[in-house]
A and B are shown apart, each in its own frame.
Chain A
Amino acid sequence: MTQSINNQADAVTVSEAPSQPHPLVEFWQYFRANRGALAGLIVIVAIVSAAFLADVIASHHPHEQYRDALLVPPMWYEGGSSRFVLGTDDLGRDIFSRIVHGAQVSISTGSLVVTLSLALGIALGLIAGYFRGILEVAIMRFMDIMLALPSLLLAIVIVAILGPSLINAAMAVVVVSLPHYVRLTRAAVLTEAHKDYVTASRVSGAGTLRLMLITILPNCMAPLIVQATLGFSTAVLDLAALGFLGMGAQPPTPEWGTMLANALQFIQRAPWVVTLPGLAILITVLAFNLMGDGLRDALDPKLKR
């Protein structure tokens, strides 16, 4: 069990042998060897810093309308200027500034979605996997029902109930992504719960909560970390899709999907209004998928030699 990254404290005391590298060091070696994952990480760091520094980086306010500069093309096109690096939209708003602020929207709602669905999913999965019985049946049946609906349709239904807004769309995506976390946690708990170290812990008098949260959970984290990373990309995609359908962030919020939807009618005259926000979505989602793949390879003991 020295491979699992989260019981590092135990691992270090157990394996004082010089040949065994620290689990985090070993993990980093695997992760670094994957060039795609590294590229993903770099892009994510760039996007997250852009989100944090949006007010500094953005050259204009995202809502500021320049009436004298409607649908100005990006600077490398004819007629573009360095005043608006990526051009302006139909209301004369600077696209670069809106995309940078859009990163803020996507990263913050994405983090909210992943944190909430991870927390709820772990709680339900632990309960199902640890207590078994009727609780498990009830929880897993409920997850099956949610999985029987196509994710976007379920999200649309939830938004129809709650009303369209960014925060309601985020709640909808939390609900939609819940089954994956619950299933993963439960499966991991089921395999861990009967191992010797758990029995040992129980025999030495550990209580139920301690067994669940401190003994078992850290050893189930590897697949959950991978799922959370991939879940971030799904969250960004789903939020953009809902925004695009008019069921997520409402204008003038600079959310990428919403920006795209509002620009549709100008697609022929000013394609950049449509292509650039979409490119931002693609790059963000791609980066998280790349990193998720790298994490899976680095954390999955089955693939290790």
Chain B
Amino acid sequence: MIGFLLRRLALVVPTFIGITLLTFALVRLIPGDPIEMMAGERGIEPERHAELRAEMGLDDPLLIQYFSYIGDVLSGDLGKSVVTKTSVLDEFLSLFPATVELALCALFFAIVVGLPLGILAAVRRGSILDYSTMAVSLTGYSMPIFWWALLLILTFSVTLGWTPVSGRISVMFDVDAVTGFMLIDTLLAGEEGAFKSAASHLVLPAIALGTIPMAVVARMTRSSMLEVLSEDYIRTARAKGLSPFRVTNVHALRNALIPVVTVIGLAVGILFAGAILTETMFSWPGVGKWLVEAVRRRDYPTLQGGVLLVATVVIVVNVTVDLLYGLINPRIRHQK
């Protein structure tokens, strides 16, 4: 197990170096002079311009610039936003919990809806239920998230008036950010109204973001269950008179879950890409919306730092999933 762990971790290092090269190149590939961009409309005198170039190390060879960038990154300095003048890392850390909360709720929706749908479809293979489940799943999988979010807003917020249109919580409430997760913070504050408000703000974005993972989970569960249900030990379990419920949910499901767990782990990338669109649609104050705005405002230090941080999170989650997977399924960790 330790060998497996070390091998897996060793693979992370070159990937991470590659990501830093990419984000380093990003700012240099963008057309335009960074100092003129920072100066904005007012312009800047040539002497001050030269001074700043030297100060920022823009006259050094690229390799030196890269190493000083790596040094800054490793010491946690990801630069400052050109627009708000605050540290990129601080901004990221203040917005990240909102994205995680949204993504976790979306994942919760995906599993709670997708798993039973997949099981039912597999058990009743070839029935109308199976076909309609797969139709729903394929439609969900093909859904343009931004449009789906709009339909949800149009139906539930505008027409029915059940949920708020945007944001995380009503402006009426002022809750201390203890964990950064609005649902937990409002509970900790003991304000029932605030909790309800936070939950109602969360429902639609979570469904919008969770729809594609839900479709993936449902499909994967169905095909994995179908495979397991044709195994000999399932026939044995049935033959010895176990209830169908027990056979399905204990004997079959446990073994069918392994590929499903992997798919859920790999959904992190999908969730993040989706979060960019979902957060923009619902004005959700998270990392995705922040990055889109950084591009729109040409705030390149923010984009550079943000991309690096997001990539780091994705890498860490993927490695964790891999390690957990090795823990559940010993066959994996003994492969070369």
Contact = CB atoms under 8 A, between A and B. Distances in A.
A289 B295 contact: no
B26 interface: yes
B153 to A, nearest CB: 8
Contact of B144 (A145, A149, A281, A289): A281
Contact of B315 (A148, A233, A289): A148
Nearest to A245: B292
A263 B124 CA distance: 43
Interface residues of B, number: 45
A54 interface: no
B18 A145 contact: yes
Main secondary structure of the interface of A (DSSP, over half): helix
A103 B45 CA distance: 50
Contacts, number: 119
A153 interface: yes
Interface stretch (B2-10, B51-59, B257-265, B269-277): B269-277
Contacts of A145: 15, 18-19, 22
B100 interface: no
A247 B150 CA distance: 19
A5 B14 CA distance: 39
A270 to B, nearest CB: 11
A227 B277 CA distance: 24
Interface in A136-170: 141-142, 144-145, 147-153, 156-157, 159-161, 163
Contacts of A281: 144, 147
A172 interface: no
A36 B311 CA distance: 37
A233 B147 CA distance: 16
Main secondary structure of the interface of B (DSSP, over half): helix
A149 B295 contact: no
B154 interface: yes
A296 to B, nearest CB: 11
Contacts of B147: 260, 274, 277-278, 281-282
Interface string B292-325: 1001100010010001001100110010000000
Nearest to B143: A282
Nearest to A36: B138
Given A156-B276, A290-B138, A161 B29 contact: yes
Best-surrounded residue of B31, B147, B154, B272 (most CB of chain A within 10 A): B147
Nearest to A290: B138
A275 interface: yes
A237 B143 CA distance: 8
Interface string B1-39: 000000000010011001100100010011100000000
A149 B26 contact: no
A249 to B, nearest CB: 15
Interface in A220-259: 233, 237, 240-241, 244-247, 257
A141 B18 contact: yes
A183 to B, nearest CB: 13
Contact of B158 (A163, A241, A268): A268
Given A156-B291, A245-B292, 15 more contacts: A141-B15, A148-B315, A148-B318, A150-B273, A150-B310, A161-B30, A233-B142, A244-B277, A257-B144, A260-B147, A275-B151, A278-B151, A286-B139, A290-B138, A293-B138
15 contacts: A141-B14, A145-B18, A147-B269, A148-B19, A149-B314, A151-B269, A156-B276, A160-B295, A161-B29, A241-B277, A244-B146, A278-B144, A282-B147, A286-B139, A286-B142
Those 6 A-B pairs whose CB atoms lie nearest each other, nearest first: A278-B147, A145-B18, A152-B273, A150-B273, A150-B272, A285-B142
Interface of B: 11, 14-15, 18-19, 22, 26, 29-31, 138-139, 141-148, 150-151, 153-154, 158, 269-270, 272-274, 276-277, 280, 291-292, 295-296, 300, 303, 307, 310-311, 314-315, 318
